[in-house]
Structures are given as structure tokens and as C-alpha cells.
Amino acid sequence: MSLKSILFGREKSLADRNLFHSLSLIAVFAWVGLGADGLSSSCYGPEETFKALGGNTHLSIFVALACVVTIVAICASYSQIIKLFPTGGGGYLVASKLISPATGVVSGCALLIDYVLTVTISVASGADALFSLFPPGVQERTLLFGLTMKLLFELVCVIGLTLINMRGVKESVLIWVPIFGVFVLTHAFAIAYAFLTHTSGMAALPAATAHEIHSVSASVGMFGLMALLLKSYSMGAGTYTGIEAVSNGLPILREPRVKTGQRTMVYMGLSLALTVAGLLIAYQLYAVEINPDKTLNAVLFEKMTAGWSHSTGSAFVIVTLFSEAALLIIAAQTGFLDGPRVLANMALDRWFPAQFANLSERLVTRNGVLIMGIAGFAMMAVTHGSVDLLVIFYSINVFITFSLSQFGMVRHWWQERATEPGWRHKLAINGFGFVLTFSILVSLTAVKFAEGGWATWLVTLALVFTAFAIKRHYNGVRSQLKRLDSIVEAAEMEAKVVPANPPFADPKARTAVILVNGFNGLGLHTILNVPRMFGNTFRNLVFVQVGSVDAGNFKGAADIDALRMHTEAEAQRYVHFAQARGYGSKAFTTIGYDITSEVMKLAREASTEFPNQVFFAGQLLFTYETNLTRWLHNHTVFTLQRRFFLSSMPFVVLPIRVDA
């Protein structure tokens, strides 16, 4: 077994009829892989909320109720998105289809940055929880290259998560299931224990809260009271960022996907709402105080176990905090699962380089995973893993996506009101979701803008600008390629006139084996250039075509079968065209995710049957080629040229000029 197989796992076979079933996630596993982001935010969201209240901690009961209402409203509205987009309805697709493609780009770019921040803040918060178990000062000890122990640990975690996710979705999720279960059990027990042992404190909460309302309003007025509550609520807004992940991750869920997605949403919503509200109330019951060397949850658990035996109390605190740290690191999975998927969808629409839609032999968008890992690593290094700083950057972007998605749904229900039964109820759910999420976006921007939120907006706008620039380039190239495709219609007419007895493809005759990718202008110009350059040298024209399995068509067995049939049909069109021109012809086709490897397999097969052969491929040639054009376009031909030469097979690249 090779080192690559050990690190990333063995190659997945597209011929496996149970492939999609084996890769998909049931609701419980989806709750772990996609819901961990939301649930883990209970480790820092309630803490940021509590801190923002200052000494007015009894007001947190209102924030807890607001959090529960928000979670329920967003989950309900996203359940409708799941039903309307059963193949996956992330913020990019919803905004693109229900509002406009340009709006979808804004939503998609905001979501990409949010997923990078998900990776960063999850790992950083996990490190905070873990280092709460150690004596003060340990995390600030310097080690390699002047890095602190905590920062070095965080950077290693990002690298490790990147490698794990290169193995595949299900494998990366199954590793974390036991730890996820420990987190749920320990925190459910802690919240229940706090409530059951403080029944008198629970009864006194309403009176204490009423007294604090009167005190604060007398001091700063009712407007000041509302402003304090709004700031506290906004600082905990990161709590809701994982909810969107389920609708975006539908393609990896077990059939029936809509039912599985909605069940996952219920698991996520209930667990998140109960945990956030429970912890905020538990903070009050135990009168926890902020400790700069520990998380607020660590302080809570230590106070909770103060009356227990030393060994039992210490064991519970260690296990609970360790499960928090591990779950926070698991939460980074959301960034690695959904970030590459958003990037792939945008790449398929040519807002980003097409290579980001490619799949690896483990059937994951490897380039997207690497981008998320590199960006997360860079963000961690720049911010030094400071949760206080990251939480300012965090959550603004996801509420851009939330707001656009909800607005798109509202627009959809209104446009379909004449034919959609129950449209008023559906519009009301998404309408409330839009008002809620847009209000949070405005308040987050107002509260966090001067503190560093402006940087999030600046980076988002820069990414949007980049996407539009890339799209403009691809559109320009497409308009130029129409000149090449102008001969397709004539070629189709010619291909229909196939002789009753088509020429025989003599294996001993001189043969031109042409690599093609669909019946298009590039392939046809390559065919026409062969006799133009070599005269009547070749009597056979043989075609090799590989259908590319990417994030756009890797959705189910039916899609794979459709791709295989389409690839064969396109190659046969070339065969008919060649036969109509008097050539013996044959096609070799297959599908795969590694185009170069599959082409080499078919090439060896073709060279065995037609030993007197020369291989040809067309390559687009730009008049003004830059590093950008080389990066945005496929240069597989040059990779193949090297592999053909190393295999001692003749290979000719025919330049096809594009004036762009």
C-alpha cells in the first residue's frame, strides 16, 4: 500500500453501485458533521453574550429567550428551503435562482469567508477550552519559531483536519461520533443538574430579573436598556452560524434527502436551543464570574462540582472540557464539508476557476479542501487564534447569506401565490426569518464595524470583485469560442450522411488518435487540422473521450449513468463525422475524476488495437496569455504530453488560437 493510500485512503470506484449509499450520511451522522458547528458555538456564544451584559447578568434570561426564538425561526425557514431545493439549497444557489446570479455571488462569497472563519474560530475556541485545564501561563509558553504553545497546537489542528478531510466526508465524520456523544451527554447532565439543584434559585429569577430591569432603566433609560440587550444578543450571534450548513450539505445526505435534512435540522435546532438557553440560565444560578485564564463554561463546571468528591469532580470537569475542545475542533468540519461545496458550485458557474469543481480519487473536492485549510491556517496565524478578535469578524457574513436566502424565499412565495397552496403560511415563516436575520445583520454591523467588522466587509467585497473579474474573463473566452463552434452545425449535418457501408477501421493502417471533450468547435478544428498539416497520411480517425466526474454531476447513480451515456453519445458523433469523410473510425470512452489517468488507460487500449498510431490533442492558444489565463484554463494537454512521452507514445499538440 502506498503512502498516499495510507494518508488519504484507497481510491473509490465509480463502478460500485452502492457507492452513493456508502458515502451518504444518515440524520444522526449529519447532525455530527453538519450540526457540530451550531452546537459547538454554545461553548463561546453564551459566554460572549454574558460578557456583554457586564454586571447585569439577570438580563440574560431575555437574551436566552431571544436566542431560542431565533434558532426556531431560522430552522423553520431553512426547512422550507430544504423542501424547495431537494438537491441542495445553500445560500449561493438560493440567492442565484430566486433573486439573481449577481446576488448569488455576494451570498456565496460571504459564505466562503464565513466557512474559513468557522474553521479558525472553532479550532481557536477548542484550544481555549483545552488549555483551561492547564495552569495559567502554559498556553503562552513559546516553542518552535517563537510560536506559543496554544498557537502551535491550533496550527497543527488545522493541518490535521485538512488531511482528514482529504480522505472523504463519511470517514471524517465517523471519527468524531463518540466525542460528539460525550459532549451531548455531559452538557445535558450539567444543565439538568444546575436546574434540579437550584429550584429555589429558579423561583427567584423572575423577581431578580424584574429588579435589574428597573435598576438599569432607571440608570440609562429604556433606550439604554434595549441597546444593552441588543449588544448582548448581537455578540452571541455566532451561535446561529451552523444552521445553514444542513441545506447546503443535502447532496451528502442519505435518501430520501429532504426527510433526512429536515430531521437533521430538528436535531440541530433542539440541541442548540436547549444548550444555549440552559447555559445562560446556569451562569446566573451559579453566579459565575469571568476569569481571563478560563472559559466561562470551565468556571461553571468547576463551581458546579465544588461540593463533589475531588476525584469525581475533577474527572467530570476534565471529560466535559475535553469534549468541548474536541467538539469545537469537530465544528471546523463544517467549513471543510460545505466550504468546498460552495466553491465547487461557484466554479461550475465560472465565478471561480473550474479546477475547484474537480474531484479526487476519494471523491472529495480536494482543491477546495486545500483552499479552506490554507485560508484557515493563514487566518489563525494572523489573528494568533484570539477568539475575542475572531468573534468580531465572525457571524456578519453568515447573516448576509441568511438575509439574502430568506428574502429570496419571500420573493418566491409571493410570485407563486396564485399556484402555491398555503403560500401565506410559508411566506410568513420566511418573512419573519428575513426580518429577524436582516435585523441581526444591521445590528452586528453597527456594533462590530468599528471594532474590526469593517475588515470582514472589505475582504468580502474584494472576493466578490475577484469573482466578477473571473466571470468576465470566462464570458469573453466563451464569446470567442463561439467562432470555433460556428462549424458544429455544419459538421452535424455532414455527420448525418453516413455511408450505408462505413469505411472499415483497419488496425494496421496509419491512425490518428484524437483526444476530444464533447462534440464542439475545439474538437472539430483539431480533426480538420490533422489532414491540413499531414495530408492523406492517416486512414483512420480514432477518438478518445473521458467524461469528467465533478461536483456538478456527482449526486447519484442516475447522474453517473447519464454522464456515461452522454460521453459515449458525444464520441459517436465524432465517429459518424469521420466516417462521412471516408475515414475508418472508432471511439474509446470512459468516465472518471482523474482525467489524465483515464486518458492514459484508454490511450494504451487504443495503441494496442491500432499500433500504427499518432496521438493528437487541441489546446486553446490565447493571443495575450498571462499567469491568470494559465491558472483559469485547463492545461491537461501539457500534462498528458509529458506522460505520453514518458510512455514512448507519439503525441502532437495542435494549437487552436483564441483572440482573447
Q: For residue 635, what pLDDT is reported?
A: 66
Task: Provide the phi-psi class of 522: left if phi over 0, else alpha when psi is between -120 and 50, else beta.
Answer: alpha
CA-closest candidate to residue 183, choices 38, 319, 1, 283: 319
CA-closest candidate to residue 121, choices 324, 371, 391, 460: 391
Confidence category of residue 168, pLDDT binned at 50, 70, 90: low
Evaluate if residue 423 carries a pLDDT over 70.
yes
Distance between CA atoms of residues 188 and 182, nearest Å:
10
Distance between CA atoms of residues 495 and 499, nearest Å:
10
Nine-digit cell at 496? 448525418
Distance between CA atoms of residues 320 and 480, nearest Å:
61
CA-closest candidate to residue 363, choices 89, 631, 553: 553
What residue ranges define each of the domains in the chain, with the CATH number in brackets? 3-473 (1.20.1740.10), 488-658 (3.40.50.620)
Nine-digit cell at 149? 504553545
Confidence category of residue 252, pLDDT binned at 50, 70, 90: low
> Nearest 5°: CA angle at 368, between 363 and 371?
145
Q: What is the mean pLDDT of residues 31-49?
A: 75
Q: For residue 173, what pLDDT is reported?
A: 59
Q: For residue 360, what pLDDT is reported?
A: 47
Other residues' Cβ atoms within 10 Å of the Cβ of residue 448: 23
Distance between CA atoms of residues 459 and 454, nearest Å:
9
Residues whose CB falls within 8 Å of the CB of residue 138, separated by 6 or more in sequence, listed in order: 131, 149
pTM to 2 decimals?
A: 0.73
CA-closest candidate to residue 373, choices 91, 29, 4, 115: 115
For 125-167, the pLDDT digits (tens) are 888 878 877 777 666 677 666 678 888 888 888 888 888 776 6
Q: For residue 272, what pLDDT is reported?
A: 85
Cα 80 to chain centroid, rounded = 20
For residue 636, what are the CA distances in angstroms to 14, 159, 518, 589?
A: 21, 28, 15, 17
Element of type H or E holding 6: helix 3-8
Higher pLDDT, 39 or 239: 39
Amino acid at 448: K
Q: For residue 654, what pLDDT is reported?
A: 84
Residues whose CB falls within 8 Å of the CB of residue 254, separated by 6 or more in sequence, listed in order: 21, 24, 25, 26, 27, 260
Distance between CA atoms of residues 320 and 297, nearest Å:
9
Q: For residue 658, what pLDDT is reported?
A: 65
**DSSP one-letter string for 258-325:** HHHHHHHHHHHHHHHHHHHHHHHHHHHHTT----TTS-HHHHHHHHHTTTS-HHHHHHHHHHHHHHHH
Nine-digit cell at 168? 472523504
SS3 letters for 185-198? HHHHHHHHHHHHCC
- Name the least confident of 318-327, 406-415, 481-490, 550-559: 550-559
Average pLDDT score, the chain: 80
For 594-646, the pLDDT digits (tens) are 677 788 889 999 999 999 999 998 887 766 666 666 667 666 787 788 888 88
- CA dihedral defined by 179, 184, 185, 190, rounded to 10 degrees? 120
Residues whose CB falls within 8 Å of the CB of residue 572, separated by 6 or more in sequence, listed in order: 587
Task: Provide the phi-psi class of 137: left if phi over 0, else alpha when psi is between -120 and 50, else beta.
Answer: left
Are 41 and 271 spatial neighbours (Cβ–Cβ below 8 Å)? Answer: no
Nine-digit cell at 597? 489517468
CA-closest candidate to residue 496, choices 512, 514, 464, 519: 519
DSSP-based three-state secondary structure for 554: coil
> Nearest 5°: CA angle at 115, between 437 and 449?
55
Residues whose CB falls within 8 Å of the CB of residue 185, separated by 6 or more in sequence, listed in order: none
Are 122 and 332 spatial neighbours (Cβ–Cβ below 8 Å)? Answer: yes
Other residues' Cβ atoms within 10 Å of the Cβ of residue 236: 29
Other residues' Cβ atoms within 10 Å of the Cβ of residue 333: 27
Are 647 and 600 spatial neighbours (Cβ–Cβ below 8 Å)? Answer: yes
Q: What is the mean pLDDT of residues 480-503?
A: 72
Q: What is the mean pLDDT of residues 374-391?
A: 84
